[in-house]
Amino acid sequence: MSDRSILLIITGGVAAFKSLELIRELGRAGVRSRVILTKAAQEFVTPLSVSALSGEKCFTELFDLDDEAEMGHIELSRSTDLVVVCPASADIMGKAANGLANDLASTALLATDKRVLYAPAMNVRMWDHPAVKRNVETLRADGSIVLEPDEGLMACGEFGPGRLPEVARLKEEILAALSPDRSLEGKHILVTAGPTREPIDPVRYISNHSSGRQGYAIAASLRDRGAKVTLVSGPVSIQPPEGVELKKVETALEMLNAVETALPADAFISVAAVADWRPATASDTKLKLKGGDEPVSMTFAENPDILKTISNLAENRPGLVIGFAAETNDVAAHAQGKLQRKGCDWIVANDVSGDVMGGENNEVSLFTKDGMEASPRMSKAQIADWIAARIAKALS
């Protein structure tokens, strides 16, 4: 790591003092740190202490005549291998997610062409706020790394997720980001995500609660490992990961066609929650379903089984075919049965009886012909990394 460097942006918060220890620990690993201190951060740590530990000038002002004469914020943001925001406040993540730049830190983030790692630290209510969640989702979709905060007692006296991770974990994550895993370089991986919508008439459809978050997170994690990723997505409200080829579909029939068109691939991961049935005939005009004397009936047709179709291809079958099983009971039994029936190589099963569909966290079990491996409960981004690591090992 002796030739590696980071631009460390320290924002305001009690946890800012940990950044000083982080600078020292990274220095012991050979990583050089150049530092930007926001105005709020200077209420907790001083430019002098930062400079003493980093051995570099500490930068604080956007409108510094000496620094900006040399295009300081541009040079700072690009003459480094990684940008680290630690601690990352809700304010700085909100600015970055929405392209705002009104100080040196936010301007450097907007001007950088390097990857950014955020280590959030804030009150549990702030971390759980919908606006913060939207911003985190946007940053991850844009290709940034946003760590999950630790859970515990906070300076404000509340307990929950929002604590800055310990320095040992921060150091590990930063060193990993400085030595990216390219184990899937040259591989083409096909992922489906989200729900399908099966039209009844122009204003009604059959669908489910899938948000697409887990499939999108898997696509991003595979991309980060160097894979060429094709993401076939049903209708969702989240942004697709940068650098991924996106194919938007509505129905199960459209999804199957998009998947077959995208082949060949080294692996196929069927994360999408595909409707099992569709109305046999969709009306061209809105149906009047109320006010009649007779009960309404509808004829259904079975949708194609995309996972089974791809698993049993005679030609162009991917070397690794993975299905997902969203269950509410007897998860292991249902997953093992699905593994046999579909003819796929792996099944990733999870219990969706709680808040998994549409939620932020997940916990899965990976079933193969050789046995089962369970993950801990983690964010969907961490689950995606857990799965992607196993895919990389299998394809190697």
| Burial of residue 74, with CB atoms counted within 10 A of its CB: 0-12 exposed, 13-18 middle, 19 or more buried | middle
Lowest mean pLDDT among 90-94, 179-183, 231-235, 269-273: 179-183
Residue 61: which pLDDT band, with cuts at 50, 70 and 90?
A: confident
- State if pTM tops 0.85: no
Q: Which residues contact 285 (CB under 8 A, 6 or more apart)?
A: 201, 202
Domains and CATH numbers, the chain: 5-178 (3.40.50.1950), 188-395 (3.40.50.10300)
φ, ψ (nearest 5 deg) of residue 238: -110, 160
Within 13 Å and on the Cβ side, how many CA atoms surround 128? 7
pLDDT (average), residues 29-49? 95
Kindly write down the DSSP assignment for every residue of 379-394, as one continuous string: EHHHHHHHHHHHHHHH
| Host H or E run for residue 151 | strand 150-153
- The yes-or-no verdict on residue 72 having pLDDT over 70 is no
- The yes-or-no verdict on residue 172 having pLDDT over 80 is yes
**Dihedral-angle region of residue 30 (phi above 0 means left; psi in -120 to 50 means alpha; beta otherwise):** left
Q: Which residue would you say has higher pLDDT here, 71 or 12?
A: 12
Q: Distance between CA 266 and CA 245 in Å, rounded?
A: 16
Q: What is the per-residue pLDDT for 293?
A: 67
Q: Which residue would you say has higher pLDDT here, 10 or 377?
A: 10
Q: Is 219 strand, coil or helix?
A: helix
CB-based burial, 314-339: b 16+ in 10 Å, e otherwise? eeebbebbbbbbbbeeebeebbbebb
- The yes-or-no verdict on residue 68 having pLDDT over 60 is no
pLDDT (average), residues 212-239? 93
pLDDT (average), residues 359-369? 85
Neighbours of 297 (CB within 10 A): 5
Q: In the structure encoding, which two tokens stand for residue 149, read together?
A: 């905060």
Q: What is the per-residue pLDDT for 160?
A: 77
Q: Which residue would you say has higher pLDDT here, 67 or 319?
A: 319
- The yes-or-no verdict on residue 99 having pLDDT over 80 is yes
pLDDT tens-place string over residues 366-385? 999 899 999 988 888 889 99
Provide the angle, in degrees to the nearest 10, between the axes of the packed helices 90-97 and 104-111.
Answer: 40
Q: What is the per-residue pLDDT for 161?
A: 83
Q: What's 121's DSSP letter?
A: -
- The whole-chain average pLDDT of the chain stands at 90
Lowest mean pLDDT among 8-22, 57-71, 297-311: 57-71
Q: What is the per-residue pLDDT for 389?
A: 93
Residue that has been written with the tokens 């909100």 in this structure? 94
- The yes-or-no verdict on residue 167 having pLDDT over 90 is yes
Q: Which of 58, 86, 156, 344 is catalytic?
A: 156
Q: Is 156 an active-site residue?
A: yes
Q: In the structure encoding, which two tokens stand for residue 299, read together?
A: 């004829």
| Burial of residue 69, with CB atoms counted within 10 A of its CB: 0-12 exposed, 13-18 middle, 19 or more buried | exposed
- The yes-or-no verdict on residue 247 having pLDDT over 80 is yes
- The yes-or-no verdict on residue 356 having pLDDT over 70 is no
Q: What is the per-residue pLDDT for 381?
A: 83
Q: What's 376's DSSP letter?
A: P
pLDDT (average), residues 19-23? 95
- The yes-or-no verdict on residue 220 having pLDDT over 60 is yes
| Host H or E run for residue 309 | helix 306-311
Q: Are strands 361-362 and 378-379 parallel, antiparallel or unpaired?
A: antiparallel
| Of the candidates 19, 24, 152, the residue with the CA atom closest to the CA atom of residue 89 | 19
Residue 286 one-letter amino acid: K
Measured CA to CA in angstroms, residue 258 lies from 151, 217, 384 at distances of 41, 20, 23
pLDDT tens-place string over residues 109-150? 999 999 999 999 999 999 999 999 999 989 988 889 999 898
| Burial of residue 139, with CB atoms counted within 10 A of its CB: 0-12 exposed, 13-18 middle, 19 or more buried | buried
pLDDT tens-place string over residues 251-273? 999 999 999 999 999 999 999 99
Residue 134 one-letter amino acid: R
Number of helical (H) and strand (E) elements in the chain, helices listed first: 14, 22
Lowest mean pLDDT among 24-33, 262-271, 345-354: 345-354
Cis peptide before 149 (omega within 30 of 0): no
| Of the candidates 377, 323, 372, 313, the residue with the CA atom closest to the CA atom of residue 347 | 323
Q: What is the per-residue pLDDT for 289?
A: 76
